[in-house]
Amino acid sequence: MPQFIIYYALYLHVYGFDIQSSLLVLSGLVLFWLVIYVLCNYKELISKYYISYFFLSIFITLAAILVAFSQFAIPMSYVLGILGKVLAVLVIAKIAIHLISIIALMYSDLKKDAYIDALTDTYNRKKFEEVLKEILDSKNVPLFSIALFDVDSFKCINDSYGHLAGDYVLREISYGIKETLLQEHNNGQLFRYGGDEFFVLFRNQTGDKVKAIMDDIQKDIYEKDFIYNDTLLNVSISVGVSEIREEKSLKDIIDKVDKNLYVAKANGKNQVFYM
């Protein structure tokens, strides 16, 4: 918009005000920004069929020139000048599409790095805290439930088989849970909070419903064969579940579900506790 105003101001300064000319200039500027908007929003489609659009643009331009040439006494040099400008605009458009694609890809990568845990390819702690804050600030989520789990005796796995074995366990658990959440369509989101601790957030789901979901997940993990370097690892998780209806702070929510996880651990591990 600032460039738009500056350009039009310069035009008025040089040529003075004239309604017809001003409308043409303003229309041209609006058309230019419309082209930029289309390029930004449909860059993939335009890139895919660029050659087709290129020849279509040439055809339309030539047709318009021929019509104008047949109706008015237009010098050939002027016609060639218009054609050259059209070709230049098309080349610039191609470059713009390429640059926009690069910028969009870079932005996507930066956004992924900011919110995705590199090891497990799940959302990270930062994303969890932002999503939870959004839910707490929103009036559209009257209730939600949250599950916190960690891997039983995870330190023993690392100490006995190495940290790569621990990484393998975390990746397998994350992949399995994400697949389960995706298949059941229960609005569940998985987040790695740190180490072997994970949160699962469920919008508009009661605690009883989430406990049943986590019971199935806990049993699936316990029954799964985790084989690392031809060694069968004994893997299980303990889970705490809380239902949130009234307004609470982020700290209060985490403390509440953490206490339920502690009870699950104290009761013998490899289980889900909800109260």
- pLDDT score at 184: 81
For residue 139, name the pLDDT band (cuts at 50, 70, 90): confident
- The per-residue pLDDT for range 177-200, each reduced to its tens digit, is 999 998 887 789 999 999 999 999
- The per-residue pLDDT for range 40-76, each reduced to its tens digit, is 666 666 566 656 656 666 666 666 656 555 555 556 6
Domain 125-274 homologous superfamily, CATH? Reverse transcriptase/Diguanylate cyclase domain (3.30.70.270)
- pLDDT score at 265: 96
Say whether pLDDT at 231 is over 70: yes
pTM: predicted TM-score of the whole model, two decimal places = 0.63
- Distance, in Å, from the CA atom of 15 to the CA atom of 21, rounded to the nearest integer, reads 9
Residue closest to 269 by CA, chosen among 245, 234, 244: 234
Report how far apart the first and last C-alpha atoms of the chain are (Å, whole number).
57
Mean pLDDT calculated for residue range 218-229: 96
Tally of CB atoms within 10 A around 34: 10
Kind of pairing between the strands at 144-151 and 237-244: antiparallel
- pLDDT score at 149: 98
Q: What is the DSSP string of 217-260?
A: HHHHHHHS-EEETTEEE---EEEEEEEE-S---HHHHHHHHHHH
- pLDDT score at 248: 81
Q: Are 237 and 177 in contact (CB under 8 A)?
A: no
Residues of the chain with CATH 3.30.70.270: 125-274
pLDDT above 90 coverage of the chain, percent = 49
Tally of CB atoms within 10 A around 175: 14
Query: Mean pLDDT of all residues in the chain?
Result: 81
Mean pLDDT calculated for residue range 239-252: 90
User: Residue 67: which residues within 8 A CB-CB, separation 6 or more?
Assistant: none
